[in-house]
C-alpha cells in the first residue's frame, strides 16, 4: 500500500490536509476538530502517527550500550517491557526523547518525527568494540494511536486482548501478517495504545478500527490534547537548548537509581538543588487565538511586565479553554494558576498556567 493510497482513503473519510509537502503529511482534521476532541475524551480517537520515527538497536551489547547513554533503566527491561527516556550530552542537555521497548532480540525505539538521524549519529560515535548496530524501521513500519475511555474495548472487539496490558508494556500480536505490536503508552493521561505494524497493512487496520467505532482524528486535535497533558514533541517543544529536568518529565523519564551515564552528574546536581530555573508548562488562553511558536510570555504588574518565557507550540481547543499553548517558563512565574500575558507584535491574550487538565 502506498502513502498516496492511505491519504486518499483518509480523504474519502473526511480528512483535510493542510499541506502535502512534508515527507509524511498527516491530516489536520476530519471535518470537525471539536467532535474529534470530544471523542478522544468520551469514546476513542484514532490518530495517524506514521510520521514518528522508529528504529531498532540490535547486537548482544545493545542494552548495556544504550543504558550508558540515556536517563532511564534499559538493562533491566524485561521482554515486552518499555520505558521513556532522554538521551543527553555531557552537560545533560537533551539530544532525544525516546520510548524503548524490549523485543528480546532487539530494542525498538520510538521517537519524534525526523529525530532518529541525529540520535543514531550521536550514539554511533561511541560504538567501538561493542556488538551493537542500528536498523531503521521507518517507513517500513507505521503507527496508529488509539486513545480514549473506549479504546481498550475497541481493541478487544478487534480480537486484541489488551485489558491486562500495563503502561509501558507491549503485546506482540500473534497470528497476524502485519507484525502488529500494541504498546500501552498513556501519553494523553488516559488509556492509549500505539499500534505498530507494517505500513502496507496500515490502511486495512485503520479501516477495521474505524468500523468498530474509533473516530478518525487529525493533528490539530492531537496537538491540543498533548499540550493539555504536557506531552512534549522533541524538535518543537524541546531541543538541545534544554536541560533534562526542564522537560517536566522527571518522574516518567529519569532514574536516579541507575549507574553512571552520559550527562548523569549535572542531572544529579540539579536534583540535589531541587529545581531548574525554567520548566515546560501549559497555558490556557482566555480566547480562541493560537499564538505562533516564539510568542513572548509576560508576567508581572501591568505597568511592569517582564518576559518570562516563549510559546513552543499551541492549538485550538474545545475543553476548558478555547486555545492552549505549551511554553518554557521561568520558575518565578510557572506555578499552576499563575496569570500570564501572551504577547505578539499585533495581538495579545491573558492565560493561566497549568501542568495538566486530566
pLDDT digits (tens, 9 = 90+) for 344-354: 999 999 999 99
Residues 216 and 143 both lie in one domain: yes
61 within a domain of the structure (yes/no): no
Whether the bond into 139 is cis, omega within 30 of 0: yes
Sorted by sequence, the CB contacts under 8 Å of residue 319 that are 6+ apart come out as 37, 41, 224, 228, 357
pTM (global) more than 0.85: yes
For residue 345, the domain's CATH number is 2.40.30.110
**Residue 186: strand, helix, or coil:** coil
Q: What is the pLDDT of residue 358?
A: 79
Q: What is the pLDDT of residue 225?
A: 98
Q: What is the pLDDT of residue 19?
A: 75
Could you tell me the mean pLDDT of each successive run of 10 residues in the chain, 358 residues long? 84 90 89 98 98 97 98 97 98 98 98 97 97 96 98 98 97 94 98 97 97 98 98 98 98 95 96 93 97 96 91 98 98 97 95 93
Domains held by the chain: number: 2
Given a contact cutoff of 8 angstroms between Cβ atoms, the answer to whether 274 and 113 are in contact is no
Domain span at residue 38? 3-50+139-228
Given a contact cutoff of 8 angstroms between Cβ atoms, the answer to whether 235 and 98 are in contact is no
Residue with cell 510559546: 311
102 within a domain of the structure (yes/no): no
Q: What is the pLDDT of residue 3?
A: 73
User: Given 228, 246, 266, which residue is the final one in a domain?
Assistant: 228
Amino acid at each position: 500500500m502506498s502513502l498516496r493510497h492511505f491519504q486518499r482513503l483518509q480523504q474519502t473519510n473526511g480528512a483535510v490536509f493542510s499541506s502535502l509537502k512534508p515527507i509524511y503529511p498527516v491530516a489536520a482534521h476530519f471535518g470537525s476538530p471539536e467532535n474529534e476532541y470530544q471523542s478522544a475524551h468520551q469514546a476513542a480517537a484514532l490518530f495517524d502517527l506514521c510520521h514518528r520515527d522508529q528504529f531498532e538497536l540490535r547486537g548482544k551489547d545493545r542494552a548495556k550500550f544504550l543504558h550508558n547513554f540515556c536517563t532511564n533503566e534499559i538493562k533491566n527491561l524485561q521482554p515486552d517491557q518499555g520505558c521513556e527516556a532522554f538521551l543527553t550530552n555531557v552537560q545533560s542537555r537533551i539530544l532525544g526523547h525516546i520510548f524503548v521497548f524490549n523485543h528480546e532480540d532487539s530494542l525498538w525505539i520510538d521517537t519524534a518525527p525526523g529525530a532518529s538521524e541525529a540520535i543514531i549519529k550521536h550514539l554511533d560515535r561511541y560504538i567501538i568494540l561493542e556488538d551493537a548496530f542500528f536498523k531503521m524501521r521507518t517507513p517500513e513500519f507505521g503507527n496508529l494511536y488509539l486513545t480514549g475511555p473506549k479504546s481498550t474495548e475497541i481493541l478487544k472487539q478487534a480480537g486484541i486482548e489488551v485489558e491486562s496490558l500495563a503502561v509501558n508494556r507491549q503485546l506482540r500480536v500473534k497470528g497476524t501478517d502485519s507484525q502488529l505490536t500494541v504498546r500501552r503508552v498513556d501519553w494523553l493521561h488516559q488509556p492509549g495504545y500505539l499500534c505498530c505494524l507494517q505500513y502496507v497493512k496500515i490502511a486495512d487496520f485503520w479501516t477495521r478500527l474505524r468500523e468498530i467505532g474509533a473516530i478518525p482524528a487529525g493533528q490539530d486535535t492531537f496537538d491540543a490534547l498533548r499540550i493539555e497533558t504536557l506531552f512534549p514533541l522533541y524538535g518543537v517543544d524541546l531541543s538541545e537548548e534544554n536541560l533534562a529536568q526542564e522537560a517536566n518529565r522527571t518522574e516518567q523519564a529519569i532514574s536516579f537509581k541507575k549507574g553512571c551515564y552520559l550527562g548523569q552528574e549535572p542531572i544529579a546536581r540539579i536534583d540535589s538543588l531541587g529545581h531548574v530555573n525554567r520548566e515546560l508548562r501549559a497555558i490556557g488562553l482566555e480566547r480562541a487565538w493560537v499564538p505562533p511558536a516564539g510568542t513572548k510570555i509576560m508576567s508581572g504588574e501591568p505597568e511592569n511586565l517582564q518576559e518570562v518565557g516563549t510559546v513552543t507550540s499551541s492549538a485550538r481547543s474545545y475543553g476548558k479553554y478555547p486555545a492552549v499553548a505549551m511554553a518554557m517558563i521561568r520558575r518565578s512565574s510557572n506555578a499552576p494558576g499563575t496569570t500570564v500575558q501572551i504577547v505578539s507584535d499585533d495581538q495579545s491574550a491573558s492565560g493561566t498556567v497549568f501542568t495538566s487538565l486530566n
